[in-house]
Structure 1
């Protein structure tokens, strides 16, 4: 019985050391920083609303739009001429567009559900 315990204890201890070595606070910080940076330039469509309702970005920034609803939406500038238009974004899909190069406030809507609206501020 002692031999079986010793035989099992050594691999378990080695596995614990390997797993401990795989996790580090540096990797967590890097991952969190990357997520935060990506989330900063992202608009999420959920429950028939844009979140955040107002997003501020630098000129020419790539903005990601994630449709977490179960229906198709658009994110279309109402400024004339249209500064940006994602076209149809299917349920569960993600689309990217480039923010205008000129500073300003750019209201937008979903052209399918016109009560959905938000503002992209470029500064």
Structure 2
């Protein structure tokens, strides 16, 4: 029993030291261990809904939500695919102020795509979940 206790103690010490070494090497060097989560996050984001498998919209057709604020006004062509990227840790919506417009729910840290209206004009939108957020504008022309 005494020998078993010493073996288990030694094994626990080795595992603890190995774990400490792994933690210090990834934070100090920024090597492969630090880049692995980024690669995993990037591949998991590619699985997010993006308009039924269509090609992603250009950066010019993107609305970004960060720090409970929409990016500046976006100008898009009628019927264009608009990508919304939510950098916040909570869900948001991009909801047209006018009835019958667009309404996209964007999960925390997620990306979704919706189709811009086909009629030219200026479309104000808001977050239906967080009414204190300043409105955004989608200009279709």
Compute the TM-score of the two structures, normalised by the length of structure 2: 0.57
Residue 58 in structure 1 maps to residue 77 in structure 2: yes
Distance (Å, rounded) in 2 between the aligned partners of 1:55 and 1:115 = 20
How many residue pairs match? The answer is 84
Distance (Å, rounded) in 1 between the aligned partners of 2:136 and 2:100 = 15
Q: Structure 2 residue aligned with 1:71, among 70, 73, 90?
A: 90
Residue 122 in structure 1 maps to residue 140 in structure 2: yes
Gaps of 5+ in 2: 1-56
Distance (Å, rounded) in 2 between the aligned partners of 1:110 and 1:73 = 6
Please give the secondary structure, in 2, of the residue aligned with 1:108. Answer: strand
Which residue does 2:130 correspond to in 1? 113
Structure possessing the higher relative contact order (Cα contacts under 8 Å, 6 or more residues apart): 1
Residue 41 in structure 1 maps to residue 58 in structure 2: no
What's the C-alpha RMSD, in Å, of the aligned pairs?
A: 1.1
Which residue does 2:41 correspond to in 1? none
Please give the secondary structure, in 1, of the residue aligned with 2:117. Answer: coil
Distance (Å, rounded) in 1 between the aligned partners of 2:113 and 2:63 = 10
Measure how far apart 1:109 and its partner are: 0.1
Compute the TM-score of the two structures, normalised by the length of structure 1: 0.65
